[in-house]
Chains A and B, each alone.
Chain A
Amino acid sequence: MKLRRLQVEQLRQFRQPFVMDDLQPGLNLIHGPNESGKSTLVRAIRAAFFERYRTSSVDDLRPWGDSAAAPTITLDFEAQQKSWHLVKSFLQRKRCDLRIDSTSYSEDEAEEKLAELLGFQFSAKGVSKPEHWGVPGLLWVEQGTGQNIEQAVEHAGDHLKSALNSLVGEVASTGGDELIEQVKTRWSELFTPKGKPRGDYQKLEQEREEHQQEIDELQARIQKYQEQVDRLGKLTREYERTQQERPWEEAERQLEQAKERYRQVEKLEQQQAQEKEILNHLQSRQQLLRQNQEQLESLNRKLDVRKAELERAQRELDQAEARSPSIASSVQQAKSAYEAAAKQVEQARLQETRSRLEQDIQRLDQQNRTLTQNLEKARQYEQELEKAREQARQNQIDARAVKALKDTEHQLKEENIRSQTIATRLTWELEPDARLVLNDEPLEGRGDRQLLEDSSLEIPGVGTLGITPGGEDLASTRRRLSTLEQGLTEQMKTLGVDSVQQAEHRLVAYEAAERTLQHTRELLKSVAPVGNDQLLADQKETLSQLQKAKTELHNSPAPEPAQSRVTDVASAEAGRAQAETRLAEAEAQERKHQTELLTRRQTRDNAKAEWQQLLDEVQNPERQKQFQTLSKELADIEEKQGRLEATLQAREQEIAQARPEILKQDIERYQRSINNLRQTQEERQRELRDIQVRLEAWGAEGLEEQRNDKVAELEQCNRRYQELRRRAQALDLLLTLLTEKRQALTRRLQAPLQKHLDHYLSLLFPQATLEVDEHLRPGTFTRGTELGQINELSFGAREQMGLISRLAYADLLREAGRPTLVILDDTLVHSDTDRLDDMKRILFDAANRHQILLFTCHPEKWSDLGVVPRDILAMKEQGLRLTSSESLTGSSQ
């Protein structure tokens, strides 16, 4: 859709006709200061489309104070490859005329055409409201509403969807959403938004449990009731049987018998106790008598003991005395052995001294001989030394001087050789008679000479030839030779030799003498390291020692020849120590024996005295008589005691057989049994009464019938619950399916819109994504790690998002072949410069596809938009001029 021309008159501040023509297919920037009429123009376009021509609710269009005005809007635009001309007047002149190409429509029909073209509805009554605006509401942005996109999308929803359907070729279900709402309403009756049962459904679930609980309780009581009934039956039978059998009576009879038996046993026990008393008396008397008797008898026994003791002491004394002689002889033996051992030691010592002296003499003699030899050698070496010294003195020569001499000679020889090589060579071969004289030396036959100096060769008969040897070196060589020869002669003179050979001979002789000297010195040192005098003194000392040792040996006594074996001192000493120990032992033995002897004698004497004393006492006659009386009395008591004990034992047995403790237990047992039996029966009776009463009370409640009723209630409840559950499951399934299918459809529908949105978004935020939700609204926004909804963004960002979303819708609509016109009234006032630049790129890009009318009061901000800004004030003035000229010509469209 392309708006070509806009004309308004009698509309707010445009009392006079105002024309804005030559509108461009792409961007149009229209500016003017506040109150210049920008918003009025926007309002005029809206009114031309949205407001019914016949409405009276558009008073705001009337110029202030002009009640006769007929606000008129004339629009020329192209759409659907046709040219559209719309004239709409309100209030005083209510008219609507529309010409599409050459076809004219008017009034309602015209308005329907417009609504169909742009996709909006008319208000049934009064002024048009946002919910009627449809697609234009989305694309025509009023001042300060750019960020609020959700409502606008919702109002345009059906048109967008139909556009999408035509694009995608999908058929959205007719009234499908309404159906989902219906299902959801029914679902919500049974479920909370979170899917938990609610209302009756939940209550029934609860009731079911309550009923079940009641039933369980009743069932438990019934169970108890039946148990009690069973108990009652059992108790009744037991009670009646017991009442008939009366088992306690038998127990009572047995109790009586046991008691009688026990009384008899008690009587026996009394008798027994009395007789035991008598027996005790007898026993104590007997004990007393026995003690007396014992005392008497003990004297005799003591006498025997003493007798035995005496005999033993005597025997021991005899034994000791018998051992005396052998002990004395062993002492004697030990003594003589010791003396022999002592003598042995003395001999061994003597022997040892002598052998030591002999060894000394031998050693000293040897030493003396060695010293004498050494002395002799030393003297010889000294003579040799003197001779060598003399030799050295005669031949003394400086070895270095000899060396220098030899060097000089060597150089001389070399120099001679060199002179020979450079000398002029004269060879000759003369006739046998021919003679030559060279330097006064006659030459004949054959030969040759080296000539170093100017020479003359006289050939007899001929004359003399002068020969001067050539070459520069010859003169220097000749000089060196004479220097060297001079040096050699001097050196030989210094050394006192005639020739080099002589010098060398002397050097050799000298060196030999030196070596002999050195050798002989070493030899001398080996025999007399500190000199011959010391050697002599040593020999003297050795001789004196030798003399002394010999004298000593001679003086020492000779060993006894009788002593056959000669032992060493150590073993002799050991032998003596052993003998000494044995002697000491023998002596100690003897001393001990003497002591023992004395002790035993004493013991024997004491034993004898005691025995004698007791013997006297025992043989006293009064004591004999007393003893006899005692014996008789004892025999009497023993006889009585024997009889009594027999009686006691018999009775004891009788009592034991009767088992009095068991009898006592029997009595207790019977007593208890009787009590128990009676008590049990009484308790039975009591319990019977109790159960009877309880059962009567419970029976009156009709428990089982109650339970049956409750079960019926539970089943009712269950049935109702199951019905609801089935319905709940069915609704749940249905809702899930419908929602799923619808979502799948929406996702298919979203794709084209998403594509356009992504296009713009990438220009504004290269890394960001903005997802379209199921209602085709921009929803989740992500940028890097940020994630959130559009309405969580800043106002500026929201406005930018709002605008790119609208542009995306415009693209979508255009793609679906719908007309698009974008009107922006002072938009993006909250954007910073950078963002605004991006938005300009976006707008410029969108203007390639859509006509965009951009109204602003800040033209400087949009100066780089690439379009010529149009000033409303300027157009007004132009319009005035135009109008006046038009009014003059009277032509009008």
Chain B
Amino acid sequence: MPTFLHTADWQMGRAFSRFETEDGAALVEARFEAIEKLARLAKEHQCDAVLVAGDVFDAQTVADRTIRRVFNATREFTGPWVMLPGNHDAALAESVWTRARRLAAVPDNVHLALEPGVINLEHQGLAILCAPLTQRNTYSDLTEAFDTWETPDGLARIGLAHGSVQGLLPDEIDSTNPILPNRAQTARLDYLALGDWHGTRQIDERTWYSGTPEPERFRNNEAGYALIVNVPGPRETPGVTPVETARYQWHQWRETLTVESDLDRLLDRLKALPEPSVVDLRLEGAVTLAGEEKLINALSVAEARFRSIQCDRSGLQLEPTDDDIAALKADGYVGEVIEHLRTRQQDDDAQAARDALAILAGLLKDRKQEASE
């Protein structure tokens, strides 16, 4: 009755360029923490082994420190780890793996599946059929060999592979590293642990993508989980339990503001998000000067609350109401300029006009405040 933890796509060494330096660093840190969390979970769930289905590293040439930290983070779980090279960290003649070995960074309990073949963990009752990528991309199904590989009786047959299950995943028809959808059946596997798809996804009762343990894009669905897999006996259906591992939630919202209440609703939603969130907003439509002020204030508050919030307002027009303009006390030619900028927001250089209007409004407001003081 072996139990093991299935994870994949750690992508260690990835940088988060779209965020501020500080936020990017925190997101990188979270990925190391995720490995530690996986080790802890494996221990807690008394797993016999941890299987990592490819893309442990985001690139071949990552810093030595990154390599060492990855293996250090596995320390809490002392059982066997089997790590499979994926397309990002393929087992080339010289690879991140050969370097890790040269650095003597790989603990004895971590098995590197650098060549196709079976790793027998007799003690744990597991035979791991490994299909590592030995080139950056392949166009043949590396798991085909599983069909012919024999494993000792009494050991569960567990496949470990990295690639795209054919015909199931959208937009990846001609994708590289193809995998037959019913490989688990043809190779008489008890379970097939897959990597490459960053969201958790079940293909059939014996075949799963675990997804990445810590989200790193806005697009992923169901990212941030690991799978605890229990194999009750030969040819029996395995029990698969997703366990949440993510620290940060990634949200990407595209909103159009038309009436004032739209903005209020948006801000309410924003308030409802938990603090460890990464938010990307793109706003369109129009706001009044007051609305803009409110929005800016809310974003300022959000910046302090969330890990990161980015807001693209270039599609959002600034539409001062007549009251707004009256409040600014802009008479004479300054008034003409405001009117001009208002209409110009419909033109090609709408963004410049919008920004110019915002600056002008700001200056006038400052002046008004000075005057009132």
A408 to B202, CA, bound (A): 178
Give A701 to B93 CA distance when docked, in angstroms: 18
Within the assembled complex, what's the spacing in Å between the Cα atoms of A712 and B15? 7
Please, which residues of chain B bring their CB within 8 A of the CB of A172?
332-333
| A172-184 vs B, Cβ < 8 Å mask (1 yes, 0 no) | 1111101100110
**A80–B314 alpha-carbon span in the complex (Å):** 58
A174 touching B329, Cβ below 8 Å = yes
Is the CB–CB distance between B13 and A704 below 8 Å?
yes
Set of chain B residues within 8 Å of A170, measured between Cβ atoms: 332
Asked whether any CB of chain A lies closer than 8 Å to the CB of B287, the reply is no
Q: Does A744 contact B (CB under 8 A)?
A: yes
Identify the closest chain B residue to A698 (Cβ).
Answer: B61
Contact status A233-B15, CB under 8 Å = no
Q: How far is the CA of A239 from the CA of B254 in the complex (A)?
A: 57
Judged by a CB distance under 8 angstroms, whether A705 is at the interface is: yes
Q: Which of B70-78, B146-154, B354-362 contacts A (4 or more CB under 8 A)?
A: B354-362
Closest to A738 in B: B337
B17 at the interface (CB under 8 A from A): yes
Interchain nearest-CB distance for B349 vs A (Å): 7
Cross-chain contact A173 with B330 (CB below 8 angstroms): yes
Nearest neighbor of A694 in chain B, beta-carbon distance:
B94
B334: contacting residue among A173, A700, A712, A727, CB under 8 A: A173
Q: Does A225 contact B (CB under 8 A)?
A: yes
Q: Can you give 24 A-B contacts (C-beta < 8 A)?
A: A172-B333, A173-B335, A174-B332, A175-B367, A182-B363, A183-B363, A229-B92, A232-B94, A233-B92, A236-B93, A702-B13, A704-B60, A705-B58, A708-B14, A708-B15, A708-B58, A716-B21, A730-B352, A730-B358, A731-B359, A732-B352, A734-B360, A737-B337, A738-B337
Closest-CB distance, A280 to chain B (whole angstroms): 70
Instruction: Give the residues in chain A near B332, CB-CB below 8 Å.
Output: 170-174, 176, 745
B4-23: CB near A (< 8 Å → 1, else 0) gives: 00000000011111101100
Closest 8 CB pairs between A and B? Answer: A173-B332, A730-B355, A702-B63, A704-B59, A712-B17, A708-B15, A233-B93, A741-B333
Instruction: Tell whether B336 is near chain A: CB-to-CB under 8 Å.
Output: yes
- B16 neighbours in A (Cβ, 8 Å): 712
* Given A171-B331, A229-B93, A702-B64, A715:B356 Cβ within 8 A: no
Interface positions of B from 93 to 141, Cβ below 8 Å from A: 93-96, 99, 102
| B334 with A179: CB separation less than 8 A | yes
Q: How far is the CA of A186 from the CA of B358 in the complex (A)?
A: 14
| Bound-state Cα–Cα, A729 to B63, Å | 41
CB < 8 Å neighbour of A692 from B14, B64, B94, B340: B94
Query: What A residues does B314 contact at CB under 8 A?
Result: 726
A354 at the binding interface (Cβ < 8 Å): no
Check: A733 CB closer than 8 A to any chain B CB.
yes
- The answer for the CA separation of A713 and B337 in the assembled complex, in Å, is 38
Q: Which of B50-100 contact A (CB under 8 A)?
A: 58-66, 92-96, 99
Within the complex, which residue of A171, A691, A699, A732 is in contact with B61, where a contact is CB–CB below 8 Å?
A699
List A residues 662-700 near B (Cβ within 8 Å).
Answer: 691-692, 695-696, 698-700
Contact assessment for A702 and B353 in the assembled complex, using a CB-CB cutoff below 8 Å? no
A742 at the B interface (CB under 8 A) = yes
Determine if A222 is an interface residue (Cβ-Cβ < 8 Å): yes
Report chain B residues within 8 Å CB of A696: 94, 99, 102
Of residues 317 through 352 on chain B, the ones whose CB sits less than 8 Å from some CB of chain A are 329-337, 340-341, 349, 351-352
Chain B CB count within 10 A is highest, among A178, A186, A695, A711, for: A695
A704-B13, A730-B358, A737-B356 given; A179·B364 CB < 8 A: yes
Interface of B is mostly: helix
Asked if A741 meets B337 with Cβ closer than 8 Å, knowing A229-B92, A704-B13, A730-B352, the reply is yes
Q: How far is the CA of A696 from the CA of B93 in the complex (A)?
A: 12
Where the two chains meet, the residues of B that have a C-beta atom closer than 8 Å to any C-beta of A are: 13-18, 20-21, 24, 58-66, 92-96, 99, 102, 314, 329-337, 340-341, 349, 351-356, 358-360, 363-364, 367
Residue on B nearest A746 in the bound complex, by CB: B333
17 new A-B pairs (CB below 8 Å) besides A699-B94, A730-B355, A741-B340?
A173-B335, A696-B99, A702-B61, A705-B15, A705-B58, A708-B15, A711-B15, A726-B355, A727-B359, A732-B352, A733-B341, A733-B349, A733-B356, A737-B337, A738-B333, A745-B332, A745-B333
A633 within 8 Å of B by Cβ?
Answer: no
A297 at the interface (CB under 8 A from B): no
CB-based contact A229/B60 at 8 Å: yes
Q: Quote the shortest CB–CB distance from B95 to chain A (angstroms).
A: 7
Closest Cβ of chain A to B210, distance in Å, is 24
| Of listed A173, A183, A730, residue having the most chain B CB within 10 A | A730
B333 to chain A, nearest CB (A): 4
Across the interface, do A705 and B367 meet the contact criterion of CB distance under 8 Å?
no
Residues of A within 8 A of B (CB): 170-176, 178-179, 182-183, 186, 222, 225-226, 228-230, 232-233, 235-236, 691-692, 695-696, 698-706, 708-709, 711-716, 726-727, 729-734, 737-738, 741-742, 744-745
Query: Which of A222, A698, A744 is in CB contact (< 8 Å) with B333?
Result: A744
The distance in angstroms between the C-alpha atoms of A696 and B24, with both chains bound, is 28
Q: In the assembly, what is the distance between CA of A229 and CA of B98, in Å? A: 12
Known: A174-B329, A696-B102, A745-B332. A730 touches B356 (CB 8 A): yes
Closest chain B residue to A701, Cβ basis:
B61
Specify which of A230, A702, A706, A713 is in contact with B92 (CB 8 Å cutoff): A230
Query: In the assembled complex, which residues on chain B have CB atoms less than 8 Å from the CB atom of A226?
Result: 60
A705 engages B59 (CB within 8 Å): yes
With a cutoff of 8 Å between Cβ atoms, the chain A residues found around residue B93 in the complex are 229-230, 232-233, 235-236
Q: How far is the CB of B30 from chain A (nearest CB, A)?
A: 16
Q: Which of B14, B61, B95, B341 contacts A222 (CB 8 A)?
A: B61
For residue A724, give the distance in angstroms from its CB to the closest CB of chain B: 11
A171 contact set on B, CB distance < 8 A: 331-332
Closest to A718 in B: B17
Residues in chain A near residue B63, CB distance under 8 A: 702, 705-706
CB nearest to A222 among chain B residues: B61
Q: In chain A, what residue has the closest Cβ to B336?
A: A741
Contacts of A176 in B (CB 8 A): 332-334
Q: Are B334 and A705 in contact (CB under 8 A)?
A: no
A171 to B334, CA, bound (A): 10
Q: Are A731 and B356 in contact (CB under 8 A)?
A: yes
Instruction: Write the chain B residue with the least CB distance to A699.
Output: B99
Q: State A704–B64 Cα separation when bound (angstroms).
A: 12
Q: With the chains together, A555 CA to B322 CA distance in Å?
A: 169
B-side contacts of A186, CB under 8 Å: 359
- Tell me the smallest distance from the CB of A175 to a CB of chain B, in Å: 7
Cβ–Cβ < 8 Å partners of B353 in chain A? 730, 733
Q: Which residues of A contact B367 (CB under 8 A)?
A: 175, 178-179
A373 to B102, CA, bound (A): 168
Q: Give chain B nearest CB distance to A650 CB in angstroms.
A: 62
Are A726 and B92 touching (Cβ within 8 A)?
Answer: no
Cα of A175 to Cα of B367 in the assembled complex, Å = 9
A470 to B20, CA, bound (A): 171
Instruction: Known contacts A701-B61, A702-B61; decide if A733 and B352 are in contact (CB<8 Å).
Output: yes
Residue pair A173, B363 in contact (C-beta under 8 Å): no
CA of A179 to CA of B329, assembled, Å:
12
Are A726 and B352 interface neighbours, CB within 8 A? yes
In the assembly, what is the distance between CA of A202 and CA of B367, in Å?
A: 30
With both chains docked as a complex, state the minimum distance between the C-beta of B320 and any C-beta of chain A, in angstroms: 15
Whole-angstrom distance between the Cβ of B182 and the nearest chain A Cβ: 32
Q: Give the distance in Å from the alpha carbon of A691 to the alpha carbon of B96 in the complex.
A: 15
Chain B residues near A706: list those with CB within 8 A.
63
A734 to chain B, nearest CB (A): 4
A residues less than 8 Å from B363 (CB atoms): 179, 182-183
Query: Which residues from B are CB-within-8-Å of A704?
Result: 13, 58-62
B97 to chain A, nearest CB (A): 11
Are B62 and A173 interface neighbours, CB within 8 A? no
Given that A229-B92, A726-B351 are contacting pairs, would A173 and B333 also be in contact in the complex, using a CB cutoff of 8 Å? yes
Is A183 a contact of B94 with CB atoms below 8 Å? no
Instruction: Kindly state the separation between the CA atoms of A228 and B94 in the bound complex, as whole angstroms.
Output: 9
B356 touches A734 (CB 8 A): yes
Give the nearest-CB partner of B100 in chain A. A699
